[in-house]
Each structure stands twice: as C-alpha cells, then as structure tokens.
Chain A
C-alpha cells in the first residue's frame, strides 16, 4: 500500500504541474484539458498492461 500510494500522490503532484506547463506554453488553459484527455486515454492501455503482469512475472513457489 505504501508503494501504491507513493506513486499515486507523485502522479497527482506532477500531473497538474505538467498541465500548467502545457497551458503556459499554449497560452490557454484549454491545452491543459488536452493534456488531461491524453492521460485519461492512456488509462485503458495501462489496464491492459496490468492484466498481463501476473502472467509475465516469474512464478513464486
């Protein structure tokens, strides 16, 4: 759970900062929305990868 939440909060800390950088670079807050849409589209892809981890990892006796 420690690893689980550390990564969660790290992502939550960095994500809005990157969104802000996108907005600043584009000169409009709308760019942050595009960044948000991009990261949400990645979620199903990661879910797909997540489902394949148990098969990929070596079996533990």
Chain B
C-alpha cells in the first residue's frame, strides 16, 4: 500500500498511476483479508455481529472522511499532495498496527485437510457472494446516485454531497444493526428484513418526486 501510493505520488505517467494503483490495491486486499481473519479471532465467542459491523464500517467512514478532506488538499496543493497525505496515513496505520495489535494468547490456527478446505471453500463462496451482492447494491447508490441527481438538474457538487450522506448514515446504522442482531438473537431475521427494506427504498428513491 505504501509503495503503490508513493509511486502514484511520484509518477506523472498513466502507466505509473495504474501500476501504483495495482500494487497499492493488492496490499489493501491482503490487509483486508488478514484484518478480517484476525478480527474474527479477537472477538470469537462474543458479540461477533456487532464487532464485525463496527470493523466493516471503518472503511466507508474512511471513504466519507476522504471525500470531505482530500478534494480540499488536492485543490489547494495538487494531486501529488493527496497521495503523500494518503501515504502518511497508511504509514501511521501500519505503525499503529505493529505497536498495538496482539492476537489473543489462546488463539490457534486450525489445521486444514484438503477435504475440509473443499467443504469450507464451498461455504465461503456462498457467504462471500452474498456479501458481495449486498455491497454491489450499496456501491450502486454512491456510483449512480450523483448521476441520477445530475439528470434531474442538480449540480455535480450538490449531488455528490447529498449522496455522501449515505456513507455517514451507515457509519451508525450498520453497527446498530449488528448490535440489534446480537441482542435480538435473530440475526438472520434482522439481515433479511434490512435487505428487503433497503431494496424497497432503492426502488422508491429514483421514482420519488422529492428529488426534482
């Protein structure tokens, strides 16, 4: 992540930007995989839905914070300054991780056989496909929401600001949903109800005249 972002800060070429993005993205994915795995170990046996909901919401919180701050830095000091700030943040995060993070003492890595891998892989495929589909729906809002509002004569800046509210709302709503799932003892009902309500609102939103 550090190398990729630094490459993007120092390179003016399109190839350099793409290469930096590729390397930085690969690092981000590896960090995401490892953090999810370690996060689950840390909260094993406790309110895991609440913990994972909070853990996952730091990503959109970071995106929302970036949407507010990075354009100001870019406008004032140029696009390279944006990458240097992001590089510094990544470095700070890695130092924090190295100095404060510790796996629980009783944490063990279960041995896997090829048969178990097949079984677990099948379960993982379905689980991740589910989360992937949910995120597709979520991403559609801030990918196409601004375009939809611009079609209705909103300015790009105003449309982007309004749609970014979605990210801020989820910073609170998703951990609350996780807490509700843990406390109610019926996480699947909460999940299914939340998805159906979310889908209904997505169908209603473009048809609402309140945006015109």
> Nearest Cβ distance between residue B159 and chain A, in whole angstroms?
10
Is B32 in contact with chain A by the CB < 8 A criterion? yes
A8: chain B residues at CB < 8 Å are 128-129, 131-132, 135
Number of residue pairs spanning A and B whose beta carbons lie under 8 angstroms apart: 152
Please report the total number of A residues contacting B with Cβ < 8 Å: 41
Contact of A50 (CB < 8 Å), options: B32, B126, B135, B198: B126
Q: What residues of B have a CB within 8 angstroms of the CB of A37 in the complex? A: 137, 198-200, 202-203
Number of contacting residues on B, CB 8 A?
49
Measured between beta carbons, the chain A residues less than 8 angstroms from B148 are: 28-30, 32-33
The CA of A40 and the CA of B206, in the complex, are separated in Å by 16
Minimum CB–CB distance from A24 to chain B (whole Å) comes to: 11
Main SS at interface, chain B? helix
Q: Are the C-beta atoms of A47 and B203 separated by less than 8 Å?
A: no
CB distance from B55 to the nearest CB of A (A): 15
- Max chain B Cβ within 10 angstroms of own Cβ: one of A16, A20, A37: A37
Q: Could you tell me the distance in whole angstroms from the C-beta of A51 to the nearest C-beta in chain B?
A: 7
Q: Contacts A5-B29, A35-B140, A57-B119: A44 and B124 contacting too (C-beta < 8 A)? A: no
CB pair A43 B124 closer than 8 Å: no
User: Judging by beta carbons under 8 Å apart, are A53 and B123 in contact?
Assistant: yes
Partner of B29, one of A9, A34, A54: A9
| A39 contact set on B, CB distance < 8 A | 133-134, 136-137
Contacts of B100-158 to chain A: CB distance below 8 A:
113, 115-116, 119, 121-141, 143-145, 147-148, 151
Contact B133 A43 (CB under 8 A): yes
Residues of A within 8 A of B125 (CB): 3-4, 7
Q: Are A11 and B133 in contact (CB under 8 A)?
A: yes
3 cross-chain pairs, A with B, having the tightest CB-CB distances, nearest first: A11-B132, A15-B136, A30-B206
